[in-house]
Structure 1
Amino acid sequence: MCNACVIESVKQSMISRRSLFAGVAATGAAAIAASTLAARPALAQASGKVVDLTYVFDETFPTFDGVPGIAYEEAVNFDASGYQLWKITFFEHSGTHIDAPLHFSKDGLSVAELAPESLICPLCVIDITAKARDDANAALEAEDVEAFISAHGEIPKGACVAMNSGWGAKVATPEFRNTPDGKFAFPGFGKSATDLLAQMGVAAIASDTLSLDPGSSADFAVHNSWLPSGHYGIENLANVDQLPATGATIFVGAPKHARGTGGPARVMAVV
């Protein structure tokens, strides 16, 4: 999710969270350690199948503000020089990408400061496709998390919890982003769910839509709570419907540029 006007409208609600991160550090370290331990058996039991969770990123890929997220300029021509090179300009929050805490906090962790251990996680996938069929702005709420736990067992500390809303089927259509009359419409996480997941020590959340929050959100409650608390998110995750509810391990190839609020990422899962 990235739109300069939207960010401007909500930034007054963002406060410095540096003191919060000091308190989060201890629990964050524990979550990372738990994540590493949990990921090992997931890898050991995997069949070795790799699922690419990343969309091809070009000028046509849907963006939050409707402006192309990437632009290419030829820097070196093959016919003239024997090799070729592009100069690429892109917005951090476009394509399949990561949201770092700094995205919605004044001085939170940048994408370069995320612990590498937190980028390899046990993966849990919560299916809300039935709910999303009835409501384009459906939210994954605490009750969905509790139902998942009842069916599949506890969510490991340090895990990444991904939402499967079925929205990937719409990615090549205008309905991936909005209704025919131009209103944002796509599923996302509800704050009741992310508050619960934070209490459980979950490291990251991931959506198969343009945003962590539903399209109808007016306050970006999840962005404004999940990210400043030291967690990260992933948006526009592909092929979520090819994943099991549990048992996979996700690998988040996050960029590592200084002061980054996020950026396009290569994300894969081993099943």
Structure 2
Amino acid sequence: MAAPLSLWEVYRAAFAGAIFTDLSHAFHPGQPRFSAFPDEERQLVFDYPKGDAFQVHRYAFVGQWGTHVDPPVHFVEGGRAVDDLPVSDMLLPLVVLDIREKVAASPDATPELSDIVAWEERNGPIPAGCFVALRTGWSSRWPDNERFYNRSADGVSHCPGWSRAVLEELFEKRGIVAIGHEQIDTDPGMATSKGDFSLEHYVLSRDRWQVELLANLDGLPEAGALIMASWPKAKGGSGFPARAVAIHR
């Protein structure tokens, strides 16, 4: 009987010629953010022009800053924090649900159950234990805050989001682990403009997690890729900037 391949051998065989696509925005002061959050503050504590032998920054920002992870405790008292999310969740099969055509026709678009049906007709069943990313094309507006919120004259934000029917289908019937999206919130802009964050509450109340403000989803295959997402292990943390990478061919 042949000896099982070592993980080094699996890595060389599986990832030879693979493409690694960065799905995170580089964060910085002045970027798009939830309107109630303060801007990032950044200070050079040590720097070469000062005569120091090294450079060190001090950063001050909210946990939900730039491309970031939302653990359950962000919306659910007593829920899991960032340090409770298992590292085994940080490498998952990636499903990309594409609604760019709908968003081009209406910025308030959300996915429908028919989008899942069409995806599965092309690719087979959505695998349990995967990460589903909503591709809307919205990240192309980064880092323009006005274009990201896309407010009409009455102050209402018009940007895409998820739908309750699709989230229930994915979490309760497909058994997925997490979701991600390009926009600032899980809920569409017309909902958040009214203070309605019920879809984000739904996701996190299911003891699942999400990554917001993903980038570079446009070049990914809708099936067959992996996502690697990681974040610092802040004890009891309710959110933190994340680094997400798609591995694909």
Given that residues 119 and 252 in structure 1 are in contact (C-alpha distance below 8 angstroms), is that contact kept between their aligned partners in structure 2?
A: yes
Q: Note closer, same or farther for the CA distance 1:94–1:141 as it changes in structure 2 (3 Å cut).
A: farther
Asked whether 1:204 is paired with 2:178, we answer yes
**Counterpart mapping for 1:141-180 below 5 A:** 141-173=112-144, 174-180=146-152
Deviations 1:21-67 (A, max 9, x none): xxxxxxxxxxxxxxxxxxx89x9277321000011100122012175
Structure 1 or 2: more helix by fraction: 1
Letter in 2 for 1:50: F
Structure 2 CA distance for aligned equivalents of residues 195 and 224 of structure 1: 12
Taking only aligned residues, the RMSD between alpha carbons, in angstroms, comes to: 1.9
**Counterpart mapping for 1:55-74 below 5 A:** 55-65=25-35, 69-74=39-44
1:170 Cα deviation after fit: 1.6
Matched residue SS, 2:199: helix
Structure 2 unmatched runs, 5+: 1-9
Given that residues 109 and 161 in structure 2 are in contact (C-alpha distance below 8 angstroms), is that contact kept between their aligned partners in structure 1?
A: yes
Structure 2 CA distance for aligned equivalents of residues 102 and 244 of structure 1: 32
1:235 Cα deviation after fit: 0.7
Asked whether 1:133 is paired with 2:110, we answer no
1:119 Cα deviation after fit: 1.5
Match in the other structure for 1:185: 158
Given that residues 152 and 158 in structure 2 are in contact (C-alpha distance below 8 angstroms), is that contact kept between their aligned partners in structure 1?
A: no
Between the aligned residues of both structures, percent identity stands at 31
> Which of 80, 85, 108 pairs up with 2:51?
80
Asked whether 1:249 is paired with 2:221, we answer no
Match in the other structure for 2:241: 264
Deviations 1:131-164 (A, max 9, x none): 1112212112333222211222111111100011
Given that residues 46 and 270 in structure 1 are in contact (C-alpha distance below 8 angstroms), is that contact kept between their aligned partners in structure 2?
A: no
Moved over 6 A (4+): none
Larger radius of gyration: 2
1:81 Cα deviation after fit: 2.2
- TM-score where L is the length of structure 1: 0.80
> Which of 221, 236, 257 pairs up with 2:198?
221
Matched residue SS, 2:41: strand
Deviations 1:162-213 (A, max 9, x none): 0111112222332211225342221111111111111211001000111111
Given that residues 162 and 205 in structure 1 are in contact (C-alpha distance below 8 angstroms), is that contact kept between their aligned partners in structure 2?
A: yes
